[in-house]
Every structure is written in structure tokens, then in C-alpha cells.
Structure 1
């Protein structure tokens, strides 16, 4: 399993953004990331300077959204949907997109469920509960 560090994630998104702006060829995963970066122009300054990105503190106490966490969650959800893992996420996501008429809005709702699942698993020292995650998404349909 791929387990990137915080710095790896930040470098990945900064490099993807750089390559996109330079009109360079992107890998398939970079192309997916680019699509989410484009939908979040408010993160352009964060992605433009890799050194500043590596040094930035996006703690809750600072009241800032972590653009790298947000984009990584978009990317994770896209991957989950593409392979239907956990089983049922693709159908639930498709139904939510249809209801909201917006893939981006649907992903933000799914992101809430993903964050809740991860928080519950970490708080309780358990494996993430995929069934609970899917049920959370279905409640938003």
C-alpha cells in the first residue's frame, strides 16, 4: 500500500500544478489531480511555491483549510469510485451526483463521510468501516 508523507503529498500537488501550467505531459494520476486543482483556483497560491507549501502550517488552530488534504481527499474519492472500493461507493456516488447535479458538490458530501470514517477509526483504534462510510453517503442521496 502506498503511504506518502505529508511532504510527498504536497510535492505531488505542487509538481502537478507546475506541469499543468507548463503544459507538460501528466501521468494518469496527475491528470486526475489536475482536474481537481482546476476546480479549486483558490489554492493556486498554495500550489505555486513548493518550499512555502512544505513549510506551511494548516492546523485547525490557524483556521485555514489544508488545500493539500482537501485535494488528496478528492483524489482518494476518485480512486475509490474508479475501483468501487469499498463496494457500493460507485453506485452511492453516482446517485449523489445525479441528485445534486454536481460531481464537485457530491465529492464534498462524500468527503464529509470519508473524514468521519477516518476520524472514528483513529479515535477507536479500529480499521476504517467501509459499510458505515457507504451508509453515510447513502444518507446524503
Structure 2
């Protein structure tokens, strides 16, 4: 199982950003990451300095969004949708994107459901509930 450290994840996004900027070849995963980075110019300055990015603390109390968490969630959701895992996420996401008229806005809605599922799993000590996650996305798609 691949389990990158926080620093590995931050370096990955910074490297994808650098390679895109310099028009260097990207791996398929870097391409997906760079596409999401392009949609979030508010994070570009933070991704530009690798050492600062690795050292920075994004405490909840600071009130700042952690760009690496946000981008990681985009990447995770993109992967889930591409392989339809958990089963049903692809259809639920596509319905939500159609309703909102925006794949990016749909990703942000799915992020809320993903974050809720992870928080509940951590709080309860139980495995993440994929069915509750899909149900959450479906509810948002049909409001």
C-alpha cells in the first residue's frame, strides 16, 4: 500500500506545478494534479516555494485553507470517479455535475461528503462508510 508522508504529498504538488509551468513532461497523476492546480490560482504562490510548503503549518485555528488537503481531495475524487470506487460514485458525481453545470463545483460538493465520511470514521473508529458517502452525493445531486 502506498502511504506518502505529508512532505511527499506537498513535494508532489509543488513538482507538478513546477513541471506544468516549465512545460516539462508530466506523469498521468501529475497531469491530473496540475489540472486542479490550474483551477486554483489562489494556491500558486504557496506551491512555488517547496521548502516553505513543506514547513508550513495549516492549523485549523489559523482559518486558512490547506491547499494540499484541498488538492489531495480533488485528486482523490477524480480517481474515485475514474474507477467508480466506491461503486456508484461515478454516476452520483455525474448527476451532481449535470445539476450544477460545473464539474469543479460538483467536486467541491463531493468534497463535503468525503470530509464528512472521513470525520465520522475517525470519530467512531469504524471504517469509512462508502454507502453513506454515495448517499450524501446523491442527495446533493437531487436537491
Please state which band the TM-score falls in when normalised by the shorter chain.
Answer: over 0.9
Q: Deviations over 1:46-65 (max 9, x none)?
A: 10000000111111111100
Structure 1 counterpart of 2:12: 12
How far does residue 5 in structure 1 lie from its aligned partner after superposition? 1.0
| Structure 2 unpaired stretches of 5+ | none
Structure 2 counterpart of 1:29: 29
In structure 2, C-alpha distance between the alignment counterparts of 1:115 and 1:5, rounded to whole Å: 19
| Structure 1 unpaired stretches of 5+ | none
Matching of residue 134 in structure 1 with residue 134 in structure 2:
yes
Aligned structure 1 segments of 4 or more residues deviating by more than 4 angstroms: none
In structure 1, C-alpha distance between the alignment counterparts of 2:81 and 2:52, rounded to whole Å: 32
Q: Deviations over 1:8-58 (max 9, x none)?
A: 110000000010011000000000001100000000011000000011111
How far does residue 98 in structure 1 lie from its aligned partner after superposition? 0.3
Structure 2 counterpart of 1:60: 60
Q: TM-score, normalised by structure 1?
A: 0.99
Q: Deviations over 1:49-103 (max 9, x none)?
A: 0000011111111110000000000000000000000000000000000000000
How far does residue 123 in structure 1 lie from its aligned partner after superposition? 0.5
In structure 1, C-alpha distance between the alignment counterparts of 2:6 and 2:52, rounded to whole Å: 13
How far does residue 127 in structure 1 lie from its aligned partner after superposition? 0.5
In structure 2, C-alpha distance between the alignment counterparts of 1:119 and 1:2, rounded to whole Å: 21
Structure 1 counterpart of 2:43: 43
Q: TM-score, normalised by structure 2?
A: 0.98
In structure 2, C-alpha distance between the alignment counterparts of 1:21 and 1:118, rounded to whole Å: 33
In structure 2, C-alpha distance between the alignment counterparts of 1:72 and 1:99, rounded to whole Å: 24
